[in-house]
Amino acid sequence: MSKKNKSVAKKAKQGHPARSAKAAKIISIDEFRARNSGDEILTSFAKWIRSNSSLNAMGDPVPALQKFLTVYSESGAVDHTASLFPSSLVAALSRMQEECSTADFEFILHVVLGYALFLSATERWNASEEQFDAVQEVIMDFVDEAADDEFDDRVLVVPALDQNTTYRTLSQLALARRVIAFMQWFGAKRDVTSKGVLTRKDIEGAAAALDVSAIGVASNATPPGVEPEGPLRVSSAVDVQRLDLYWEALAALGVIELSATKAILHDPRVGLEGTEYEVMSIALLRDLALVIYTRFCNLGQPLDEEFDELDDEEEFDDSGTGELIGALLLEAAYEDGYPVEDLRMVTQTLAGDDQLEIMAAEAAFEIMAAEGLIDIGENYAIPPVFKKTIAFLLAEPAECEIEYEDPADEDIEYAGAH
């Protein structure tokens, strides 16, 4: 991920929705305090923060900034109105980390990053771009240290679900309904193109099985990012997002076997009954979820048509998107999940590639939520039936502490007690 314009909005809470234009002219309490202080830089900062971020929803940034600047000046820095110096910043933040509570220090990190972004956005920053990057790196190092301390104290609990509960829960998901409908539509085999995807004549039927209205066309395809009035018109099956997602996942699992001109379906449940059928269904759906999670964690391209367009214009660097999605999926697997508003607020303090990475992560979660792989309410949360999958994919490799309520769940193939 690019180091520019990173955010420390990890625990931020979104404020009240935007007020009317009339109310927007009212001077906020932080602006009032800044004006009374006689410090033009504080007044400008208060106005900029109010217009460009939700930092005010977390607390009053002006007193926090004043406190920081006092400590910063005592560290030997001469001027703070045109730049920040990494060495002085380290000294000031180290001192404040010792003197402040964890919550207060976290807020100060938000404020200091906001102040650096303010200096840059208002063209007050007169030092080098390298120095700006170094300042952000210092702040993020403190953020990462605090996050690591909190992370080390948590335990990912994988609930004990018996086989019947697991089967019934998975069977009710859109993922299960769609993959069954898709395999029923598919039949024994289908023609494929030289690129190993369905031909245009089969796009409509395949998409319909997955609850998508789309048709294959030789010309006049729906432009990227445009909402079609009728069916989505595509020249290739890969342009139907959900179809491409299922196709790649089923091919990765070997359920779809590809040759030069044909695709053959191998449904692993064929010929099974009763408990054996349930166990195989659980394995199929969990494996399908695992492949989809993995695809997003290893993301190598923008997720959505809107990001394809941005890629051309903005030279979108997506190298950190998959890593970000993986980190957020792991957060979502813990008991409290990850607050949706926190992620939304992050985008307000970002620009360029970093902002696009957050937007891509949000798009990924919407895609996964449509399949039942993640719940989106106030928090992003992994459904209990998939916590074992996330533990296997992300928590175990990261050496996180995991509590398996049923010790047998340490075996990824275990379907639950009878």
**pLDDT tens, position by position, 400-417:** 999 999 999 999 999 999
Residue 281 has pLDDT above 90, yes or no: yes
Residue 36 has pLDDT above 70, yes or no: no
345 in Cβ contact with 54 (< 8 Å): yes
**Dihedral class, residue 271 (left if φ above 0, else alpha if ψ from -120 to 50, else beta):** left
For residue 156, the SS3 value is strand
Residue 17 has pLDDT above 90, yes or no: no
Q: What predicted TM-score, i.e. pTM, was given to this entire model? A: 0.68
What tokens appear for 18 in the block? 């935007």
Region 343-353: mean pLDDT is 69
Look at residue 382 in the predicted model and tell me its pLDDT: 98
- Beta-sheet strands, E only, within 53-167: 156-158
The set of residues, in sequence order, having a beta carbon less than 8 Å from that of 128 and lying 6+ positions away, is none
CA–CA–CA angle 307, 308, 309 (5° rounding): 85
Residue 351 has pLDDT above 50, yes or no: yes
Look at residue 256 in the predicted model and tell me its pLDDT: 97
Residue 186 has pLDDT above 90, yes or no: yes
Look at residue 197 in the predicted model and tell me its pLDDT: 97
Look at residue 350 in the predicted model and tell me its pLDDT: 63
Which segment of 188-202, 348-362, 370-384 scores lowest on mean pLDDT? 348-362
Which among 38-52, 62-76, 376-390 has the top mean pLDDT?
Answer: 376-390
Q: Which residue shows structure tokens 């609990």?
A: 157
166 in Cβ contact with 282 (< 8 Å): yes
Region 196-217: mean pLDDT is 97
How do residues 303-334 score in pLDDT, each as one tens digit? 333 334 434 444 444 457 888 899 999 999 99
**Domain boundary assignment for the chain:** 29-152, 174-268
Choose among 344, 308, 316, 329: nearest CA to 393: 329
Look at residue 300 in the predicted model and tell me its pLDDT: 46
132 in Cβ contact with 120 (< 8 Å): yes
User: Model confidence at 348, in pLDDT bands (50, 70, 90)?
Assistant: low
